[in-house]
Structure 1
Amino acid sequence: MLNSARYLTLLEEDHRRLRAAGAADPAASVPSCPGWTLADLVDHVGEVYLHKAETMRLGAWPEPWPPEPDPEGPLHRLDRAYAALCAEFAAREPGEAALTWYDPDQTVGFWVRRMALETVVHRIDAELAAGTPVTPVADDLAADGIDEILTVMLAFATTTWADEFGDGLAEADGRPVSIAAGEERWLVRATPAGVEVARGERASGAASVAGTPQDVLLWLWGRQDGAALTFGGDDALVERLRRLLKESTQ
Structure 2
Amino acid sequence: MTDYCSLVESETARLAELATGADPAAPVPPCPGWTLADLITHVGSLHRWVLHIVETRRQEPIWPHQVPNGLAEGQRGDPAWLVAGARELVATLRATDPDTPVWAWGGDRRAGWWARRMLFELVIHRCDAELAVGVAPVVAAPIAIDGIEELLDSLPHASWVTKQLAELGAEGATIHLHAGDGEWTLTQGPAGRITWARGHAKGDVAVQAPVSDLLLMLYGRRSPDGLTVHGDRAFLDRWLTAASL
Amino acid of the structure 1 residue aligned with 2:66: W
Per-residue Cα deviation, 1:111-145 (whole angstroms, up to 9, x for no partner): 110111110111111122123x3453111110111
- The answer to whether the 8 A contact 2:176-2:201 is kept is yes
Structure 1: state its 5+ residue gaps: none
Residue 223 of structure 1 aligns with which residue? Answer: 221
Q: Which of 140, 147, 150 does residue 142 from structure 2 map onto?
A: 140
Quote how far apart the aligned CAs of 1:165 are.
Answer: 2.4
Residue 108 of structure 1 aligns with which residue? Answer: 111
Task: Report SS of the residue matched to 1:189.
Answer: strand
Task: Report SS of the residue matched to 2:66.
Answer: coil
Task: Report SS of the residue matched to 2:193.
Answer: strand
Residue 202 of structure 1 aligns with which residue? Answer: 200
Instruction: Tell me whether 1:151 sits opposite 2:148 in the alignment.
Output: no
Structure 2 Cα separation of the partners of residues 137 and 166 of structure 1: 27
Residue 73 to residue 178, structure 1, CA distance change in 2 (3 Å): closer
Instruction: Tell me whether 1:96 sits opposite 2:100 in the alignment.
Output: yes
Task: Report SS of the residue matched to 1:193.
Answer: helix
> TM-score, normalized by length of structure 1?
0.86
Aligned positions of 1:107-126 closer than 5 A: 107-126=110-129
Structure 2 Cα separation of the partners of residues 161 and 30 of structure 1: 22
Residue 79 of structure 1 aligns with which residue? Answer: 83
Per-residue Cα deviation, 1:132-182 (whole angstroms, up to 9, x for no partner): x345311111011111222212x3336x985x327634x214121111132
Structure 2: state its 5+ residue gaps: none
- The answer to whether the 8 A contact 2:164-2:243 is kept is no
Residue 149 to residue 68, structure 1, CA distance change in 2 (3 Å): closer
> TM-score, normalized by length of structure 2?
0.87
Instruction: Tell me whether 1:12 sits opposite 2:9 in the alignment.
Output: yes
Structure 2 Cα separation of the partners of residues 227 and 241 of structure 1: 15
Per-residue Cα deviation, 1:181-220 (whole angstroms, up to 9, x for no partner): 3231211122442333222131211211111111001111
Task: Report SS of the residue matched to 2:113.
Answer: helix
- The answer to whether the 8 A contact 1:177-1:237 is kept is no
Task: Report SS of the residue matched to 1:109.
Answer: helix
- The answer to whether the 8 A contact 1:142-1:213 is kept is yes
Aligned positions of 1:156-235 closer than 5 A: 156-157=157-158, 162=162, 164-165=163-164, 168-169=167-168, 171-235=169-233
Task: Report SS of the residue matched to 1:165.
Answer: helix
Amino acid of the structure 1 residue aligned with 2:188: A
Task: Report SS of the residue matched to 1:80.
Answer: helix
Residue 167 to residue 83, structure 1, CA distance change in 2 (3 Å): closer
- The answer to whether the 8 A contact 1:147-1:199 is kept is no
The CA RMSD measured in Å over matched residues stands at: 2.3
Structure 2 Cα separation of the partners of residues 46 and 39 of structure 1: 11
Residue 134 to residue 243, structure 1, CA distance change in 2 (3 Å): closer
Quote how far apart the aligned CAs of 1:245 are.
Answer: 1.0
Identical amino acids, percent of aligned pairs = 34
Task: Report SS of the residue matched to 2:167.
Answer: helix
Amino acid of the structure 2 residue aligned with 1:82: A
